[in-house]
């Protein structure tokens, strides 16, 4: 009889939800998948041998740990938010510390928010008014202006649940602005991290659950909009139309919610619903979107709307969005745009 041992994977994190939902994959010495699970579940019984454990961390990165399973000692793989630090690409503030001196970066203005703190790693912003539009921060980086949409959370009960950070990312050939969810917005931060680290397919189930959690609660509408966009992009949003209706109705400052609802209504069999969707789309695209993907979706919808209605308005809105799209940092999750006249 083959000897066996126990393997468990757990998360050390302040979020109960993340502690119990992060997915992991176990491969044996031939790198065949022999098990999948979510953290917080029961220990797995495995034949003695070498195994790799791949998991998505609370920051949305991947981590990999190699272990030996033997009968004598149960193996306990612990995932923390710092796990996998060397496995992925840039990941915000920890990696950006002390790098700001390498480029000339000046905060030149804000809209609908206030600068709370500024340190070597970046800038932290918070809401200072009832939001009616997406808050922004504008920077001058090496002589060019960049404006970042800020996913603030006016619903946050404490200050660090309401804020977001902007950091400099110097890993690309040009300096970029990295807009990050702050530490206390843990589910939003995990979704954002998975998008930035290309873990979307590996963590599809986690994304699905995270987005559902965000959409189902009213605690962080900006993060919920990101979850909704992600679900839509991967064809998993239709069954959540009620939540998107709420997001679009109750958080008018986030145009992405109405854009998402328009996307759901676009192929409705009822012409009145399609007309409602087009109305939402035309209305939403008067303002700056919060997310790059929100702008991409809006552009796509305006270009491909199935009916011939309101063609002139659609063309005008496409022109308006083109002002953002022609100088956009497509790698950024939050919408970050430059000035066309500085790039010609």
Partner 1 sequence: MLIEVEGVAAPAVTHAFVVGVSHYPFLDGPQMTDKGGELGLANLSSAARSASELTAWLLNEYRCPEAPLKDVRLLLSPVDGEALNADVLARMGGQPAPATRAAVKAEFTAFMEACASPADRALVFVVGHGIQLSPRSAIVLLEDFATDAEPDLLFGAMDVIGCHDAMRKFGGADHQAWFSDACRQRPEIVRRFEALEGAFKPGNIGLAEVAASPVFLSSSTRENAFADPQGLTIFTQALLWALRGAAAVGKDETCPVWHVSSSRLSLVLPTRVKALAQAGGADQSVDLTGKPLDVVVQQFDAPPQVDIEVAVNPANLDPLPVAELRLDGNELVAVQPGWPLRLRATAGLYELVADVGGAAPQRKKKLLNAQPPACKEEVQFP
Identify whether the C-beta of residue 325 lies closer than 8 Å to the C-beta of residue 287: no
CB within 8 A of 26, min separation 6: which ones? 7, 33, 34, 35, 36, 37, 44, 46, 51, 52, 53
Give the span between the Cα atoms of 228 and 211, in whole angstroms. Answer: 6
For residue 252, report the phi and psi dihedrals to the nearest 5 degrees: -65, -20
SS3 per-residue string spanning 102-146: HCCEEEEEEECCEEEEEECCEEEEECCCCCCCCCEEEEEECCEEE
Q: How far apart are the first and last CA of the chain?
A: 72
Identify whether the C-beta of residue 268 lies closer than 8 Å to the C-beta of residue 115: no
Q: Is 297 in the site for partner 1 (CB under 8 A)?
A: yes
Could you give the string, one character per residue 309-338, with x where binding to partner 1 holds by CB under 8 A and - elsewhere? ------x--xx-xxx-xxxx-xx-------
74, 94, 109, 198: which one binds partner 1 (CB under 8 A): 198
> Nearest CA to 231 among 254, 197, 264?
264
CB of 90 to partner 1, least distance (A): 11
CB of 276 to partner 1, least distance (A): 19
Give the span between the Cα atoms of 264 and 244, in whole angstroms. Answer: 9
Nearer to partner 1, 102 or 120 (CB): 102
Nearer to partner 1, 42 or 343 (CB): 343
| Chain center to CA of 82 | 18
43, 133, 200, 287: which one binds partner 1 (CB under 8 A): 200
Residues 159-188 that bind partner 1 (CB under 8 A): 172-174
Q: Is 202 in the site for partner 1 (CB under 8 A)?
A: yes
Q: Is 64 in the site for partner 1 (CB under 8 A)?
A: yes
43, 115, 204, 275: which one binds partner 1 (CB under 8 A): 204
Largest CA-CA distance found in the chain, in angstroms, rounded:
75
Q: Which stretch binds partner 1 (CB under 8 A): 4-12, 77-85, 131-139, 290-298?
A: 290-298
Neighbouring C-beta atoms of residue 92, cutoff 10 Å: 20
Q: Which stretch binds partner 1 (CB under 8 A): 11-19, 152-160, 180-188, 196-204?
A: 196-204
CB of 140 to partner 1, least distance (A): 18
CB of 200 to partner 1, least distance (A): 7
Could you give the string, one character per residue 238-267, with x where binding to partner 1 holds by CB under 8 A and - elsewhere? -----------------------------x
Residues contributing to the site for partner 1 (CB under 8 A):
27-33, 49-52, 62, 64, 66-68, 89, 172-174, 198-202, 204, 233-235, 267, 292-293, 295-297, 299-300, 303-304, 306, 315, 318-319, 321-323, 325-328, 330-331, 340, 343-344
């Amino acid at each position: 009889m083959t000897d066996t041992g126990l393997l468990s994977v757990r998360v050390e994190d302040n979020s109960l939800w993340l502690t119990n939902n992060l997915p992991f994959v176990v491969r044996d010495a031939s790198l065949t998948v022999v098990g999948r699970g979510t953290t917080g579940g029961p220990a797995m019984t495995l034949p003695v041998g070498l195994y790799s454990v791949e998991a998505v961390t609370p920051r949305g990165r991947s981590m990999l740990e190699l272990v030996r399973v033997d009968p004598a000692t149960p193996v306990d793989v612990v995932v923390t938010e710092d796990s996998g630090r060397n496995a992925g690409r840039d990941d915000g503030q920890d990696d950006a510390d002390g790098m700001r001196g390498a480029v000339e970066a000046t905060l030149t203005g804000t809209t609908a928010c206030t600068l709370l703190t500024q340190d070597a790693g970046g800038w932290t912003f918070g809401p200072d008014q009832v939001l009616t539009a997406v808050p922004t921060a504008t920077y001058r980086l090496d002589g060019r202006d960049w404006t970042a949409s800020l996913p603030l959370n006016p619903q946050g009960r404490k200050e660090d649940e309401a804020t977001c950070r902007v950091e400099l990312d110097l890993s690309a050939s040009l300096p970029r602005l990295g807009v990050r969810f702050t530490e206390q917005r843990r589910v939003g931060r995990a979704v954002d991290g998975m998008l930035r680290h290309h873990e979307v397919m590996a963590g599809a189930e986690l994304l699905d659950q995270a987005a559902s959690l965000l959409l189902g609660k009213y605690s962080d509408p900006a993060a919920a909009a990101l979850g909704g966009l992600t679900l839509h992009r991967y064809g998993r949003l239709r069954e959540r139309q009620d939540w998107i209706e709420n997001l679009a109705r109750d958080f008018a400052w986030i145009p992405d919610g109405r854009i998402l609802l328009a996307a759901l209504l676009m192929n409705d069999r009822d012409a009145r619903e399609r007309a409602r969707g087009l109305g939402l789309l035309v209305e939403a695209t008067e303002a700056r979107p919060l997310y790059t993907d929100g702008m991409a979706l809006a552009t796509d919808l305006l270009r491909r709307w199935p009916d011939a209605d309101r063609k002139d308005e659609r063309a005008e809105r496409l022109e308006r969005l083109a002002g953002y799209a022609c100088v956009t940092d497509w790698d950024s999750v939050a919408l970050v745009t430059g000035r066309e006249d500085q790039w010609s």
